[in-house]
Chain A
């Protein structure tokens, strides 16, 4: 997922399942982090009163999370590391949910300890890891690369658990581990740092066989610096750290298994079990001192016995196993907290008293549960926020609103959302409309007018849907295929709503529908493949309306489907790594292979599937056009990640989708594995939206102009190609071109304007056009289909989702009135993409996690209090003039409205890009940018704002720095500062948006203000007062603006910037005449700053 994507989650009433497998509380006791079997991490806010509220869900792992640990000194950087079953490791910033670093090592960790020794180590410290491999791995905490290993000389084995011992007495840090065979080993840590850095072998210092299996935890008592608590699943033992002699053993009650333990205080420990109980013991001296029993060859007598003080338990229906932890108090406001997470997703907290005591009669006291919470509680509490995209369907059902959507599919080319329901009906509705109805305040009005269709034909719940045309444009546009629980597949015509054919497979529930790739054809048609949950695979020929055959021999669930086009084979890969090869024509099992051979077969087919389009590539780019689609489908064929299926492929599928979708927005249905609960994600592509919303060259007066520039334009375009090829700037470089093409349909349209463009394109030749397509890797066709209203609507929806509402009532009203956007019903769940496949989604109720906002219900969707401060800062640095070109104020309302929206979106995009810069840089930003900054370095050496200015000029397509007005530089500097102050992207976007809207609306308020000046102060908005002197000047300028006749100008600048961006610094001579064109058309009265804003906005890069 690109960072330029804005994500809004529509959760629905049901929380996604979150089976907790790992849990930790951060050192500041403000956040609980849990990892789940589904692969997501959840951040929970822990208030000072020990109230829990879920905040964010972090997506990134594709397999079950095995362990969590702190990854830095928490007071400096709030980073947490998570490791997954398939070897993925991620470092997350738990304050904003961003993925800081990720890596995949071929090791499965079960425990991680962070170690940093400030005076002997450089860098960020190490992560000591143990897991399903021998001994200990040392991983660099910053880069997540393997630094070294600790090796054992004696019986190397897997390590179950470990702890780091900082002993003041010995002045040495040691690592204590227990292997699966029950062997305790000790490595010196602090003294071996240098030898680790020199990569010498480091062997254990001591080792001792502990005589029990399944060690769960080892803990060192820092209070006495002598006792060592080792918890095995069947017993726990206390050892003397000095000589590892056994002091005490306690075995479990029958049917109980210990899961862990911790030292509470000197001689006081807490032990917890797999079923959620915990016990606090006082370790009492038995009166037999060690000295009485000298080591006379026998084992030392146990000299300590435990006395049970307190216990905790969970009363409610419990689901095994529990993962528990204990957080010791550190400073005054901190508590001693015992916490547990269940597979059901429930978190329970116990506040452990400082001095736990037993009851008077000596029997153990029960410590009550302090808090317990689940994700679902969050959803129930904030039901307004947990709007689902299909909630309004409930309205249609008479009686109880219990329609459960069991499958959904989004058709981008038609903007239709297809939802299959539990009762066998299928709803088809306008996706954007539905989203608006769910999110916005006027939603109830929208609901009534909502166009929808209902398809009835299934008798069981519809669990799979497919729109074949979305995969291959050659397939019929009207087709929709749906499969149900009763093994019935229906082919629909979505336009006429009639059933074209019903297939009865007589197999299990149809869990997924796949289309054969384009290069595979049976009698010149593609084949539909239905995967059923009874492990059978059925092939259907849609054109002939005929079932080909049903392959039923598979013993394990089907994981992979491949097509061998030459020999007409269907290759089915199963979960147990076996492969079945079916002959499609006859339906006979050709071969069955397991093990190494199966792997080879699958790999071979992979090639054969992709060799064809690649070889044809140079001949016909037509096939290449669909390459992205094919790749995507090939990914989606691989349903269920192999190691531990979590969120059913969706994570990988999502990435593919996000990469390949070409429209300005998209709806993504997401489903979790072990439940039917799904939710939808709205994706807005800022870049694309801005491109599509660009005003197009329209007016007649412009006609000659565009012809005048056509020659240059063409040359400029040819440079685009060169650059695309040499610099591999796929997206940005050809942005202007495709934008122009895409902008066409929006143009309100004189045919002449259109003609001029098509003329240009024809001139340039088809060959180049193809190249353009291939480099863009998206198919322009569907994007052309988005009509202008839809795009404007999408932009408006995005703006209403981003705007902080309720900051100023009047401002809200003005926004609704002038921008024609709706107020939100409640705060929306925004998402934050950190890189390609790691992102976080806010959960309903996130807004109440911030203590300050808690009481203030008038503010809806305000991300944090910081936003207001930031926006004030922004306003104060804003240039004295209104930022927005406001020319058409009086004549054309709708045009002005859309202009304003475009302007705001651009601002958002710019901010987003600026704040995300470091991420992008690390990912390898366009080489052009680097070149550009090199250029600038030459131009202005020793400039301390070099970075910003170069980026700035990059945004402005490499114009000379001398043109930059000071005020805007300061704006950019400000935003860049925010980035360094770790202001979150959402905060920055909201702040800028708020400030810009305030600025914008102020000018709209102009007339009422002039007539009754008191109202201004009534506003109570001190920013207004602050800005007042500036406003007067604004008006002046606006007057000038209005006198200008600008529409042609905008087009001119568009043309100009196309060429400008293309030629950049390469061909300055071409740049020159072009610039003249603009200068000509620009009115002399136009202030300089104004023109730059106009230019900046029309460049495609911001």
Chain B
């Protein structure tokens, strides 16, 4: 009947209720060491984040670059240590072509999923000039979504961790509350990855990302990098200034993950309009793993909760 492990959970009600009264419901016997499992998953997750944030992850398998217009292989940037030339790979972005729709535009290239040492190459349609900018080396720019998700996970670990090894839970409600708190953190962590922030254009312009490049971005380009599910997305907005006497009626656009051409905003004293949008995506394998881990650990937590509530419903109503 596996009653032993149950007592471990809800020790106080053990004497009052014989476990035989609980009907055998499938795999009901609570295989206790669920916590270690959950912890394991969480640790997995956090180490995942730790490695990915500070150590460059192995890059996704290089795509062969087919169908990417006039992609130009970059000259290998001169950086010590990481043989960048063979890490550099073009990222195909079906979305970008669909969006821009025009013949030849610059295709941004993305080197690493980790955002240090990223190179972006952009061919401007206007003057056919190839823009090249990379992330500054003196600053490490952390993707806020990853940072938040990691912090949420470490909070969840802390919640599970901050008691003595031989601490005994006294009531089911205590475990339920703990699980609720842990699940809240895990859900938030997952949501950070699955739902990118909807930003307005002035917010993008004000974000630190625009200052993260060397050489500095031209003033008519805005860049936004975010994570959507298991993909790292880079959007580049090309802007042109609206004439103050233009007949177009100015309507600032609201917040959005991806702004469409024609979106307008005010920055400083200038009124600007998005003329072109380029978007590239790169699938990051470890993000995929992370999302799976999140789902699994959430399900584990929920299963634990379910088991506790099944038992509590067959015991006296009181101690719960």
Minimum C-beta distance from B139 to chain A (A): 9
Alpha-carbon separation in the docked complex, A319 to B148 (Å): 29
Chain A residues near B235: list those with CB within 8 A: none
- A-contacting residues, B280-315, CB 8 Å: 298-299, 302, 306, 309-310, 313
Residue of B nearest to A485 (CB): B313
Alpha-carbon separation in the docked complex, A461 to B176 (Å): 21
Chain B residues near A508: list those with CB within 8 A: 310, 313
Alpha-carbon separation in the docked complex, A233 to B140 (Å): 27
Chain A residues near B156: list those with CB within 8 A: none
- Judging by beta carbons under 8 Å apart, are A257 and B162 in contact? yes
Q: Does A740 count as interface, using CB distance less than 8 angstroms?
A: no
- Judging by beta carbons under 8 Å apart, are A643 and B184 in contact? yes
Q: Does B194 count as interface, using CB distance less than 8 angstroms?
A: yes
Alpha-carbon separation in the docked complex, A557 to B165 (Å): 30
Q: Does A1079 count as interface, using CB distance less than 8 angstroms?
A: no
Chain A residues near B170: list those with CB within 8 A: 317, 319
- Judging by beta carbons under 8 Å apart, are B164 and A256 in contact? yes
User: Which of A180, A557, A674 meets B173, CB within 8 Å?
Assistant: A674
Minimum C-beta distance from A16 to chain B (A): 13
Residue of A nearest to B166 (CB): A255
Residue of B nearest to A108 (CB): B188
User: Which of B147, B167, B180, B298 meets A157, CB within 8 Å?
Assistant: B147
Residue of A nearest to B154 (CB): A180
Chain B residues near A133: list those with CB within 8 A: 148
Which of A320, A422, A461, A644 has the largest number of chain B CB atoms within 10 A? A320
- Judging by beta carbons under 8 Å apart, are A676 and B317 in contact? yes
- Judging by beta carbons under 8 Å apart, are A676 and B320 in contact? yes
- Judging by beta carbons under 8 Å apart, are B167 and A320 in contact? yes
Residue of A nearest to B172 (CB): A674
- B-contacting residues, A749-795, CB 8 Å: none
Alpha-carbon separation in the docked complex, A256 to B167 (Å): 11
Q: Does B142 count as interface, using CB distance less than 8 angstroms?
A: yes
Q: Does B78 count as interface, using CB distance less than 8 angstroms?
A: no
Alpha-carbon separation in the docked complex, A595 to B294 (Å): 13
Chain B residues near A321: list those with CB within 8 A: 162-163
Alpha-carbon separation in the docked complex, A308 to B167 (Å): 25
Alpha-carbon separation in the docked complex, A37 to B179 (Å): 13
Q: Does A596 count as interface, using CB distance less than 8 angstroms?
A: yes
If A406-B317, A509-B313 touch, whether A556 touches B166 (CB-CB below 8 Å) is no
- Judging by beta carbons under 8 Å apart, are B317 and A422 in contact? yes
Alpha-carbon separation in the docked complex, A534 to B306 (Å): 7
- Judging by beta carbons under 8 Å apart, are B151 and A596 in contact? no
Q: Does B144 count as interface, using CB distance less than 8 angstroms?
A: yes
Chain A residues near B299: list those with CB within 8 A: 555
Alpha-carbon separation in the docked complex, A255 to B167 (Å): 9
Q: Does B117 count as interface, using CB distance less than 8 angstroms?
A: no
Minimum C-beta distance from A976 to chain B (A): 45
Chain A residues near B181: list those with CB within 8 A: 64, 644
Chain A residues near B164: list those with CB within 8 A: 255-256, 275
Q: Does A576 count as interface, using CB distance less than 8 angstroms?
A: yes
- B-contacting residues, A117-169, CB 8 Å: 132-134, 155-158
Chain A residues near B158: list those with CB within 8 A: 214, 233
Chain A residues near B166: list those with CB within 8 A: 255
Residue of A nearest to B319 (CB): A675
User: Which of A257, A274, A461, A577 meets B317, CB within 8 Å?
Assistant: A461
- Judging by beta carbons under 8 Å apart, are B174 and A343 in contact? yes
Chain A residues near B154: list those with CB within 8 A: 180, 213
Residue of A nearest to B147 (CB): A157
- Judging by beta carbons under 8 Å apart, are B173 and A274 in contact? no
1/0 per residue, CB under 8 A from B, across A253-283: the answer is 0011100000000000000001100000000
Alpha-carbon separation in the docked complex, A644 to B144 (Å): 24
Q: Does A533 count as interface, using CB distance less than 8 angstroms?
A: yes
User: Which of A37, A257, A317 meets B177, CB within 8 Å?
Assistant: A37
Minimum C-beta distance from A131 to chain B (A): 10
Q: Does A806 count as interface, using CB distance less than 8 angstroms?
A: no
- Judging by beta carbons under 8 Å apart, are B195 and A132 in contact? no
Minimum C-beta distance from A1082 to chain B (A): 62
If A155-B142, A645-B180, A675-B320 touch, whether A576 touches B187 (CB-CB below 8 Å) is yes
- Judging by beta carbons under 8 Å apart, are B318 and A595 in contact? no
Chain A residues near B162: list those with CB within 8 A: 233, 257, 274, 320-321
Chain B residues near A556: list those with CB within 8 A: 298, 302
If A319-B174, A343-B174, A533-B309 touch, whether A674 touches B148 (CB-CB below 8 Å) is no
Chain B residues near A257: list those with CB within 8 A: 162-163
Q: Does A404 count as interface, using CB distance less than 8 angstroms?
A: yes
Of the four ranges (under 10, 10 to 19, 20 to 34, 35 or more), the interface on chain B belongs to 35 or more
- Judging by beta carbons under 8 Å apart, are B177 and A674 in contact? yes
- B-contacting residues, A410-469, CB 8 Å: 422, 461
- Judging by beta carbons under 8 Å apart, are A134 and B144 in contact? yes
1/0 per residue, CB under 8 A from B, across A555-571: the answer is 11100000000000000
User: Which of B187, B313, B318 meets A404, CB within 8 Å?
Assistant: B318
Q: Does A987 count as interface, using CB distance less than 8 angstroms?
A: no
- Judging by beta carbons under 8 Å apart, are A132 and B152 in contact? yes
Chain A residues near B208: list those with CB within 8 A: 156
Chain A residues near B298: list those with CB within 8 A: 556, 576
Q: Does A19 count as interface, using CB distance less than 8 angstroms?
A: yes
Q: Does B42 count as interface, using CB distance less than 8 angstroms?
A: no
- Judging by beta carbons under 8 Å apart, are B174 and A404 in contact? no
Chain B residues near A645: list those with CB within 8 A: 180
User: Which of B174, B184, B191, B320 meets A644, CB within 8 Å?
Assistant: B184
User: Which of A274, A404, A596 meets B195, CB within 8 Å?
Assistant: A596
Minimum C-beta distance from A782 to chain B (A): 33
1/0 per residue, CB under 8 A from A, across B123-142: the answer is 00000000000000000101
Chain A residues near B188: list those with CB within 8 A: 132
- Judging by beta carbons under 8 Å apart, are B167 and A644 in contact? no
- B-contacting residues, A614-628, CB 8 Å: none
Alpha-carbon separation in the docked complex, A676 to B318 (Å): 7
Minimum C-beta distance from B154 to chain A (A): 7
User: Which of B140, B163, B184, B229 meets A85, CB within 8 Å?
Assistant: B184
- Judging by beta carbons under 8 Å apart, are B184 and A596 in contact? no
Alpha-carbon separation in the docked complex, A942 to B176 (Å): 64
- B-contacting residues, A217-274, CB 8 Å: 233, 255-257, 274
Minimum C-beta distance from A320 to chain B (A): 5
- A-contacting residues, B102-131, CB 8 Å: none
- B-contacting residues, A593-612, CB 8 Å: 595-596
User: Which of B151, B167, B180 meets A158, CB within 8 Å?
Assistant: B151
Alpha-carbon separation in the docked complex, A134 to B181 (Å): 21
- Judging by beta carbons under 8 Å apart, are A155 and B140 in contact? yes
Which of B142, B164, B191, B298 has the largest number of chain A CB atoms within 10 A? B164
1/0 per residue, CB under 8 A from B, across A632-659: the answer is 0000000000011100000000000000
- Judging by beta carbons under 8 Å apart, are A595 and B229 in contact? yes
- B-contacting residues, A268-326, CB 8 Å: 274-275, 317, 319-321
Alpha-carbon separation in the docked complex, A675 to B151 (Å): 31
Residue of A nearest to B144 (CB): A134
Residue of A nearest to B167 (CB): A320
Alpha-carbon separation in the docked complex, A180 to B52 (Å): 18
Minimum C-beta distance from A91 to chain B (A): 25
- B-contacting residues, A648-697, CB 8 Å: 674-676
Alpha-carbon separation in the docked complex, A461 to B313 (Å): 10
Alpha-carbon separation in the docked complex, A320 to B163 (Å): 8
1/0 per residue, CB under 8 A from A, across B172-216: the answer is 011011001100100110010011000000000000100000000
A-B contact pairs, 25 of them (CB 8 A): A37-B177, A132-B148, A132-B188, A156-B142, A158-B147, A213-B154, A233-B162, A255-B165, A256-B164, A274-B162, A320-B174, A404-B317, A404-B318, A485-B313, A508-B313, A509-B313, A534-B306, A555-B299, A556-B302, A557-B302, A595-B195, A595-B229, A644-B180, A644-B181, A645-B180
Which 8 pairs from chain A and chain B are nearest by CB? A255-B164, A257-B162, A674-B173, A158-B151, A274-B162, A320-B163, A595-B194, A509-B313
* A-B contact sample (10 more), CB < 8 A, given A255-B164, A257-B162, A576-B302: A19-B177, A157-B142, A157-B151, A213-B154, A255-B166, A404-B317, A534-B310, A595-B195, A596-B194, A674-B320
